[in-house]
Amino acid sequence: MFANSSHQYTRLDEGEPDDGGEGAGDLELQDRSRRSLNWSKSDLPDNTSTSAGNGFHPDDYGGSYGGSGDRAGSDSDDDDHEYHDGRFNVMDGPRTFPQRWVQLFYLSTLALISDWVCFSTASIPDVFERAYPGRTSEGLIDKFLFMNVISCLLVTDIVARYGLQRCTKASSLLMAVGCWLRCGFSIVPVVMEMIGVREIVEEDYVGLDYSEKNPAFGRRRLLEHPDFGLPPYPVLVIGTLMVGMAQPFFQCTPPLLSAQWFASNERATSSAIALNFNQVGIAVAFVVAGEMADGYRGLMRYFSLIAVLSTALSVGTLMHFQDLPPIPPSASEFEKLAKSRSHAEPPFRVSLRNFLATPGFLRPLLAFVCSIAITNVVGAFIDEVMGRGGITDRKYVAWSGAGFEMAIQYKNVTLWCLLASLVCLLPLGLTDHQLGKEPVLLVVSLLLLGFFVGPVQPINAELAVDVTYPGDETAVESIQQFGGNFCSAIFVPVAGRAAKLDYQILPRIKYLASDIRGDVIFMMLMSVGTYCFYRSFNAPLRRTMADGD
């Protein structure tokens, strides 16, 4: 955190702690956190009252340090960070609050919408190319990913400067505006069609169009003017880039949110939920696009739906998303904040250099990059993959793609996931063999690939934060997202070209002879290399040790 940053652990509007959390009622943990920190009133500096600089004060955590029994009856209203009722005593140890689930909901749903936008046309490339001749869905996804990469380089320093609350709210607005640029004025005829106004206008006011060439053009024809259709491609790209710029503020911050709001035994779960909602967003893109976008007018309705949902979510974020809880939720967060008295978080470029030199960081980084690259490459070409397996109906393609993204659960064995991905990738690349033409096997392979590849991301996001503790969680995830999306932006066009190459496998054995596509060979080599490198992981889990777990 920047030395001049003013955001700190402050009071919630609704303030009761959640007794169901690990930090709320676990007396053993509370005692352990106090013992691990060895804090007492005598340890606190006498000449500091705020955390605006490098100072430290009990009120920075939203409550008193105990012992001042008259705090509840204080008449002073000047200090917004002081609990006048004395309910929250930081010396009681870590606490969790119900608001953490609201925070997780908004961050996860924002991530869902952002990845929905990224892959919104992946399962309907033919519809998109008819709407924008000469343009490809693959190219639009690639532009999104490159903007995501650029934003990943900035998100750490911006969040450190302005805090998670402000950044999340601003990014939600940026995403909503981007979605409206992608939609354009196409929502006007969509809304009028929904409420039946178009037919009424046509019956009662035909001929009121101001067209000079055709005075009897009709109001109905006016609503079908190109201005009320999809926006020009450059405007669509600008809107897509705006969403791509906003996305890292939802993708790179789940570990930070988990550390600030969730108990030590909840952090992995909360990070997994938030990170996996990216995959849920891709799944939603496959399903909704396949059901709605069956043509130009369907694409108008589809983009309008995304714009409306992103706006509603942005309004909710502005109203409900908060900054920090009154009291840290874990002993490790207590310890990290205590150390921050004399240590400000370095800029992202310094964190990058430090983390890359930290033992154990490179392996979870590579595993994360491998997982997200496979997910993005397969997702970008899902229509082509299914077509090679004899599945051409758009709805079947959409639901199969959704299954690939949704079959993600939190697991603890990265190596087994990487090995399983090899087996699941193979049927996707076979072409001139009956296995490669068997729709059932193809769909099952996609489902299992999502099941095994997806968990690698949340596992290694938390692992990287653990080994770099007390480093900046946002910087850790920014590095992983940067690596994953940068490689994806490169690998998507590379895989597109490699898919045109076929290689013979066992041509002299009649029943095993087959061709395999180059893109699948490329992804399998990625998995093998990651597996071999990951096997040597052996680094101390610093945050786990700080929590005493």
Say if residue 67 is in the same domain as residue 105: no
Could you tell me if residue 6 is inside a domain?
A: no
Say if residue 363 is in the same domain as residue 436: yes
Say if residue 201 is in the same domain as residue 338: yes
- Contacting residues for 287 by C-beta, under 8 A, at least 6 apart: 398, 399, 401, 402
Domain count, the chain: 2
Angle at 329 between CA 101 and CA 92, to 5 degrees: 130
How far apart are alpha carbons 130 and 134 in whole angstroms? 9
Say which CATH number the domain at 508 has.
1.20.1250.20
How far apart are alpha carbons 72 and 29 in whole angstroms? 26
- Helices 197-204, 187-195: inter-axial angle, 10-degree rounding: 90
Beta strand segments in 136-286, E:
none
Angle at 404 between CA 249 and CA 518, to 5 degrees: 95
**Of the candidates 68, 92, 116, which is a domain's last residue?**
92
Could you tell me if residue 501 is inside a domain?
A: yes
**249, two tokens:** 């503020």
Which DSSP state fits 232?
Answer: P
Contact present, 11 and 62 (Cβ < 8 Å): yes
- Contacting residues for 43 by C-beta, under 8 A, at least 6 apart: none
Instruction: Report residues of the chain scoring pLDDT below 50.
Output: 1-7, 10-15, 19-86, 199-220, 222, 386-412, 432-436
Domain that holds residue 44: 22-92
Could you tell me if residue 268 is inside a domain?
A: yes
Say if residue 37 is in the same domain as residue 169: no
Which DSSP state fits 535?
Answer: T
Q: Give me the half-sphere count of Cα atoms (radius 13 Å) on the Cβ side of residue 258.
A: 29
Q: How far is CA 198 from CA 96, 154, 189, 224, 225, in A?
A: 53, 46, 8, 10, 13
Say if residue 87 is in the same domain as residue 107: no
pLDDT tens digits, 125-165: 889 999 999 999 888 988 998 999 999 999 999 998 999 99
**Residue 66, Cβ density class (10 Å: 0-12 exposed, 13-18 middle, ≥19 buried):** middle
Say if residue 530 is in the same domain as residue 442: yes
Instruction: Give residue 243's pLDDT.
Output: 97
Host H or E run for residue 338: helix 331-339
Could you tell me if residue 85 is inside a domain?
A: yes
Could you tell me if residue 9 is inside a domain?
A: no
Amino acid sitting at position 29: L
Could you tell me if residue 218 is inside a domain?
A: no
Could you tell me if residue 4 is inside a domain?
A: no
**Residue 171, Cβ density class (10 Å: 0-12 exposed, 13-18 middle, ≥19 buried):** buried
Beta strand segments in 112-152, E:
none
**Residue 108, Cβ density class (10 Å: 0-12 exposed, 13-18 middle, ≥19 buried):** buried
Backbone angles phi, psi at 375, to 5 degrees: -60, -45
Say if residue 341 is in the same domain as residue 396: yes
**Of the candidates 92, 109, 139, which is a domain's last residue?**
92
Contact present, 356 and 467 (Cβ < 8 Å): no
Instruction: Give residue 440's pLDDT.
Output: 60
Task: List the beta bridge partners of residue 86.
Answer: none
How far apart are alpha carbons 430 and 458 in whole angstroms? 30
| The dihedral formed by the CA atoms of 368, 370, 376 and 381, expressed in degrees to the nearest 10 | -160
Could you tell me if residue 200 is inside a domain?
A: yes
Say if residue 77 is in the same domain as residue 109: no
Host H or E run for residue 516: strand 514-517
Q: What's the pTM?
A: 0.69
pLDDT tens digits, 334-366: 887 777 665 677 888 888 888 988 988 998 899
Instruction: Give residue 316's pLDDT.
Output: 97
Say if residue 273 is in the same domain as residue 400: yes
Instruction: Give residue 169's pLDDT.
Output: 97
Say if residue 154 is in the same domain as residue 169: yes
How far apart are alpha carbons 403 and 396 in whole angstroms? 11
Say if residue 186 is in the same domain as residue 59: no
Report whether the peptide linkage leading into residue 98 is cis, meaning its omega lies within 30 degrees of zero: no
**Of the candidates 46, 70, 92, which is a domain's last residue?**
92
Say if residue 285 is in the same domain as residue 161: yes
How far apart are alpha carbons 332 and 174 in whole angstroms? 33
Instruction: Give residue 152's pLDDT.
Output: 92
